[in-house]
Amino acid sequence: MKIFSGQGCLIFLVIAFTIAGFEAGKENPLIWAIMAVAIVSMFLGYFALRRKEQSSYLVKMEQMADSLDRMAESGFGGDDIIFATEKGEEVVLRISGVGLKEFRSSGSTYGGGYGGLSFKVSKGIRANVGGMKGGSTKKPEESTLLDIGQVTFTNKRIVFTGDNMVAEFQLDKIVNLETGPNGIQLEISVSNRPKTAVLEAANYPELTPGMAADLALTWQKGGKKEAQSQAKVLAERIRSMVAEERSGK
Protein backbone atom coordinates (compact mmCIF):
# COMPACT_ATOMS: atom_id res chain seq x y z
CA MET A 1 0.00 0.00 0.00
CA LYS A 2 1.36 3.41 -0.97
CA ILE A 3 1.76 5.82 1.94
CA PHE A 4 1.69 9.54 1.13
CA SER A 5 3.82 12.06 3.01
CA GLY A 6 0.84 13.38 4.98
CA GLN A 7 -0.13 9.88 6.04
CA GLY A 8 3.45 9.13 7.05
CA CYS A 9 3.57 12.21 9.29
CA LEU A 10 0.26 11.26 10.87
CA ILE A 11 1.43 7.72 11.59
CA PHE A 12 4.66 9.03 13.11
CA LEU A 13 2.77 11.45 15.38
CA VAL A 14 0.36 8.73 16.51
CA ILE A 15 3.21 6.35 17.34
CA ALA A 16 5.14 9.04 19.23
CA PHE A 17 1.98 10.14 21.06
CA THR A 18 1.13 6.54 21.97
CA ILE A 19 4.58 5.84 23.40
CA ALA A 20 4.51 9.02 25.48
CA GLY A 21 0.96 8.30 26.64
CA PHE A 22 1.78 4.71 27.55
CA GLU A 23 4.43 5.81 30.03
CA ALA A 24 2.19 8.52 31.50
CA GLY A 25 -0.77 6.15 31.66
CA LYS A 26 1.05 3.84 34.05
CA GLU A 27 0.66 6.47 36.77
CA ASN A 28 -2.67 7.99 35.76
CA PRO A 29 -5.23 5.83 33.85
CA LEU A 30 -7.12 9.00 32.84
CA ILE A 31 -4.26 9.71 30.45
CA TRP A 32 -5.38 6.72 28.36
CA ALA A 33 -8.81 8.24 27.79
CA ILE A 34 -7.33 11.64 26.91
CA MET A 35 -4.85 9.99 24.55
CA ALA A 36 -7.61 8.00 22.79
CA VAL A 37 -9.67 11.16 22.23
CA ALA A 38 -6.63 13.01 20.91
CA ILE A 39 -5.72 10.23 18.46
CA VAL A 40 -9.28 9.97 17.14
CA SER A 41 -9.36 13.76 16.72
CA MET A 42 -6.09 13.67 14.77
CA PHE A 43 -7.45 11.05 12.37
CA LEU A 44 -10.78 12.85 11.91
CA GLY A 45 -8.99 16.15 11.26
CA TYR A 46 -6.65 14.54 8.74
CA PHE A 47 -9.41 12.85 6.74
CA ALA A 48 -11.54 16.02 6.82
CA LEU A 49 -8.61 17.92 5.30
CA ARG A 50 -8.15 15.23 2.65
CA ARG A 51 -11.85 15.43 1.71
CA LYS A 52 -11.59 19.22 1.41
CA GLU A 53 -8.52 18.94 -0.84
CA GLN A 54 -10.24 16.30 -2.98
CA SER A 55 -13.35 18.46 -3.32
CA SER A 56 -11.23 21.46 -4.39
CA TYR A 57 -9.38 19.30 -6.91
CA LEU A 58 -12.62 18.08 -8.48
CA VAL A 59 -13.96 21.65 -8.76
CA LYS A 60 -10.78 22.66 -10.63
CA MET A 61 -11.18 19.69 -12.97
CA GLU A 62 -14.75 20.81 -13.71
CA GLN A 63 -13.42 24.29 -14.51
CA MET A 64 -11.06 22.69 -17.03
CA ALA A 65 -14.00 20.91 -18.61
CA ASP A 66 -15.84 24.25 -18.85
CA SER A 67 -12.82 25.82 -20.59
CA LEU A 68 -12.69 22.93 -23.05
CA ASP A 69 -16.40 23.31 -23.79
CA ARG A 70 -15.88 27.00 -24.58
CA MET A 71 -13.05 26.08 -26.96
CA ALA A 72 -15.21 23.46 -28.63
CA GLU A 73 -17.98 26.03 -29.17
CA SER A 74 -16.18 29.28 -29.97
CA GLY A 75 -12.66 28.27 -30.97
CA PHE A 76 -9.25 28.90 -29.47
CA GLY A 77 -6.74 31.68 -28.83
CA GLY A 78 -7.97 35.06 -27.68
CA ASP A 79 -7.70 38.75 -28.51
CA ASP A 80 -5.59 39.36 -25.40
CA ILE A 81 -2.79 36.99 -26.53
CA ILE A 82 0.06 38.86 -28.20
CA PHE A 83 2.21 36.46 -30.19
CA ALA A 84 4.25 36.80 -33.40
CA THR A 85 2.77 34.05 -35.56
CA GLU A 86 4.28 32.58 -38.70
CA LYS A 87 2.43 32.20 -42.00
CA GLY A 88 -0.54 29.87 -41.51
CA GLU A 89 0.01 29.72 -37.76
CA GLU A 90 -2.79 30.25 -35.23
CA VAL A 91 -2.68 30.38 -31.46
CA VAL A 92 -4.45 27.54 -29.66
CA LEU A 93 -4.03 28.83 -26.09
CA ARG A 94 -1.54 30.12 -23.53
CA ILE A 95 -0.77 28.84 -20.02
CA SER A 96 1.03 30.88 -17.36
CA GLY A 97 2.98 29.73 -14.32
CA VAL A 98 4.75 26.86 -16.08
CA GLY A 99 8.21 25.63 -15.15
CA LEU A 100 10.74 24.65 -17.84
CA LYS A 101 12.99 21.77 -16.83
CA GLU A 102 15.69 19.74 -18.52
CA PHE A 103 17.37 16.49 -17.60
CA ARG A 104 20.91 17.44 -16.55
CA SER A 105 23.66 15.77 -14.59
CA SER A 106 24.11 17.04 -11.05
CA GLY A 107 27.88 16.56 -11.28
CA SER A 108 30.37 13.78 -10.81
CA THR A 109 31.79 11.71 -7.99
CA TYR A 110 35.36 10.46 -7.66
CA GLY A 111 36.30 7.06 -6.35
CA GLY A 112 39.67 5.42 -6.16
CA GLY A 113 42.43 3.96 -4.02
CA TYR A 114 46.05 2.83 -4.04
CA GLY A 115 46.99 0.23 -6.61
CA GLY A 116 50.04 -1.90 -7.30
CA LEU A 117 52.12 -3.92 -4.84
CA SER A 118 51.76 -3.62 -1.09
CA PHE A 119 54.42 -4.70 1.36
CA LYS A 120 55.00 -4.53 5.11
CA VAL A 121 57.36 -1.80 6.34
CA SER A 122 57.07 -2.37 10.07
CA LYS A 123 54.49 -3.55 12.56
CA GLY A 124 51.12 -2.10 11.61
CA ILE A 125 52.46 -0.11 8.62
CA ARG A 126 52.31 -1.09 4.98
CA ALA A 127 53.59 0.73 1.87
CA ASN A 128 52.06 0.78 -1.64
CA VAL A 129 54.06 0.82 -4.85
CA GLY A 130 52.31 1.80 -8.07
CA GLY A 131 50.51 5.01 -7.11
CA MET A 132 46.85 5.86 -6.92
CA LYS A 133 44.17 4.76 -9.36
CA GLY A 134 40.53 5.77 -9.61
CA GLY A 135 38.08 7.60 -11.79
CA SER A 136 35.30 10.11 -12.06
CA THR A 137 31.76 8.79 -12.36
CA LYS A 138 29.02 11.02 -13.77
CA LYS A 139 25.90 11.14 -11.63
CA PRO A 140 22.55 10.17 -13.22
CA GLU A 141 20.71 13.01 -14.93
CA GLU A 142 17.95 14.69 -12.92
CA SER A 143 15.09 16.97 -13.91
CA THR A 144 16.41 20.49 -13.21
CA LEU A 145 14.26 23.65 -13.12
CA LEU A 146 15.65 26.27 -15.51
CA ASP A 147 12.98 28.97 -15.56
CA ILE A 148 9.31 29.75 -14.90
CA GLY A 149 7.15 31.55 -17.44
CA GLN A 150 4.30 31.14 -19.90
CA VAL A 151 3.79 28.67 -22.72
CA THR A 152 2.02 29.48 -25.98
CA PHE A 153 0.60 26.54 -27.91
CA THR A 154 -0.09 27.01 -31.62
CA ASN A 155 -0.95 24.69 -34.47
CA LYS A 156 2.77 24.67 -35.38
CA ARG A 157 4.80 25.29 -32.22
CA ILE A 158 5.04 25.14 -28.45
CA VAL A 159 6.90 28.23 -27.24
CA PHE A 160 8.09 28.77 -23.65
CA THR A 161 8.90 32.35 -22.61
CA GLY A 162 10.41 33.04 -19.19
CA ASP A 163 12.43 35.79 -17.54
CA ASN A 164 15.72 34.14 -18.49
CA MET A 165 14.99 31.68 -21.28
CA VAL A 166 13.01 31.17 -24.46
CA ALA A 167 12.51 27.64 -25.80
CA GLU A 168 10.72 26.65 -28.99
CA PHE A 169 9.48 23.20 -29.98
CA GLN A 170 8.28 22.65 -33.55
CA LEU A 171 5.39 20.19 -33.63
CA ASP A 172 6.63 18.58 -36.83
CA LYS A 173 9.97 17.79 -35.13
CA ILE A 174 8.51 16.07 -32.06
CA VAL A 175 9.74 12.50 -31.74
CA ASN A 176 8.22 11.70 -28.35
CA LEU A 177 5.73 13.13 -25.84
CA GLU A 178 5.18 11.82 -22.31
CA THR A 179 2.57 13.19 -19.91
CA GLY A 180 2.10 12.85 -16.18
CA PRO A 181 -1.29 12.53 -14.39
CA ASN A 182 -3.87 14.80 -16.06
CA GLY A 183 -1.08 16.29 -18.18
CA ILE A 184 0.33 18.54 -15.45
CA GLN A 185 3.81 17.46 -16.53
CA LEU A 186 4.74 17.23 -20.20
CA GLU A 187 8.03 15.78 -21.46
CA ILE A 188 8.97 16.87 -24.99
CA SER A 189 11.66 15.31 -27.16
CA VAL A 190 12.33 16.99 -30.51
CA SER A 191 14.80 16.03 -33.21
CA ASN A 192 16.61 19.40 -33.22
CA ARG A 193 17.26 19.57 -29.43
CA PRO A 194 19.77 17.30 -27.65
CA LYS A 195 17.89 17.27 -24.34
CA THR A 196 14.40 16.21 -23.37
CA ALA A 197 12.53 19.23 -21.98
CA VAL A 198 9.83 19.16 -19.32
CA LEU A 199 6.97 21.63 -18.97
CA GLU A 200 5.29 21.46 -15.58
CA ALA A 201 2.35 23.53 -14.31
CA ALA A 202 2.82 24.78 -10.73
CA ASN A 203 -0.93 24.63 -10.06
CA TYR A 204 -4.02 23.54 -11.92
CA PRO A 205 -4.54 26.27 -14.53
CA GLU A 206 -7.49 26.48 -16.91
CA LEU A 207 -5.81 23.71 -18.86
CA THR A 208 -2.71 21.59 -18.26
CA PRO A 209 0.32 21.47 -20.62
CA GLY A 210 -0.46 17.89 -21.62
CA MET A 211 -4.05 18.70 -22.61
CA ALA A 212 -2.94 21.82 -24.48
CA ALA A 213 -0.33 19.84 -26.41
CA ASP A 214 -2.99 17.27 -27.33
CA LEU A 215 -5.18 20.00 -28.85
CA ALA A 216 -2.24 21.64 -30.65
CA LEU A 217 -1.15 18.35 -32.23
CA THR A 218 -4.73 17.49 -33.18
CA TRP A 219 -5.06 20.87 -34.93
CA GLN A 220 -1.73 20.39 -36.71
CA LYS A 221 -2.73 17.00 -38.06
CA GLY A 222 -6.47 17.37 -38.61
CA GLY A 223 -7.33 21.06 -38.61
CA LYS A 224 -9.20 23.43 -36.31
CA LYS A 225 -12.55 21.62 -36.41
CA GLU A 226 -10.87 18.38 -35.42
CA ALA A 227 -9.21 20.16 -32.48
CA GLN A 228 -12.58 21.53 -31.39
CA SER A 229 -14.03 18.01 -31.49
CA GLN A 230 -11.10 16.78 -29.41
CA ALA A 231 -11.74 19.56 -26.86
CA LYS A 232 -15.28 18.26 -26.48
CA VAL A 233 -14.01 14.70 -26.02
CA LEU A 234 -11.56 15.81 -23.31
CA ALA A 235 -14.30 17.75 -21.51
CA GLU A 236 -16.55 14.66 -21.46
CA ARG A 237 -13.73 12.46 -20.15
CA ILE A 238 -12.98 14.90 -17.34
CA ARG A 239 -16.62 15.12 -16.28
CA SER A 240 -16.91 11.33 -16.34
CA MET A 241 -13.82 11.04 -14.12
CA VAL A 242 -15.18 13.65 -11.69
CA ALA A 243 -18.52 11.83 -11.50
CA GLU A 244 -16.79 8.53 -10.72
CA GLU A 245 -14.67 10.16 -7.99
CA ARG A 246 -17.72 11.69 -6.35
CA SER A 247 -19.65 8.46 -6.47
CA GLY A 248 -16.75 6.65 -4.77
CA LYS A 249 -16.21 4.12 -7.55
Report, as an integer, the average pLDDT of 99-113.
Answer: 65
- Pairwise CA distance, residues 168 & 146, whole Å: 14
For every residue of 46-62, which 3-state class applies, written as one string?
Answer: HHHHHHHHHHHHHHHHH
For residue 35, the model assigns a pLDDT of: 64
Arithmetic mean of pLDDT, 81-98: 90
Cα(74)–Cα(187) distance, integer angstroms: 29
Q: Contact at 8 Å (CB) between 126 and 120?
A: yes
> Residue 117's pLDDT band (boundaries 50, 70, 90)?
very low
pLDDT for 181? 79
Q: What per-residue confidence (pLDDT) applies to 121?
A: 45
What percent of the chain shows pLDDT beyond 70? 61
The pLDDT, as a whole number, for residue 4 is: 42
- Mind listing the pLDDT tens digit for each residue in 145-188? 999 999 999 999 999 999 999 999 999 999 998 888 778 899 99
Higher pLDDT, 126 or 152: 152
Are 102 and 143 spatial neighbours (Cβ–Cβ below 8 Å)? yes
Which of the pair, 157 or 116, is modelled with greater confidence? 157
Task: Estimate to the nearest angstrom the gap between the alpha carbon of 57 and the chain centroid.
Answer: 15
Backbone phi, psi, residue 17, to 5°: -65, -40
Amino acid at 20: A
The band of 83, judged by pLDDT with boundaries at 50, 70 and 90, is confident
Res 65 pLDDT > 50: yes
Q: Give me the pLDDT at residue 197, please.
A: 92
pLDDT of amino acid 10? 47
User: How many other β-carbons are positioned within 10 Å of the β-carbon of residue 229?
Assistant: 14
Contact criterion met (CB below 8 Å) for 203 and 182: no
- Across residues 135-154, what is the average pLDDT? 79
Residue that wins the pLDDT comparison between 40 and 214: 214
- One-character DSSP codes across 98-121: EEEEEEEE--EEEEEEE-SEEEEE
Residue 36 in this model has a pLDDT that exceeds 70: no
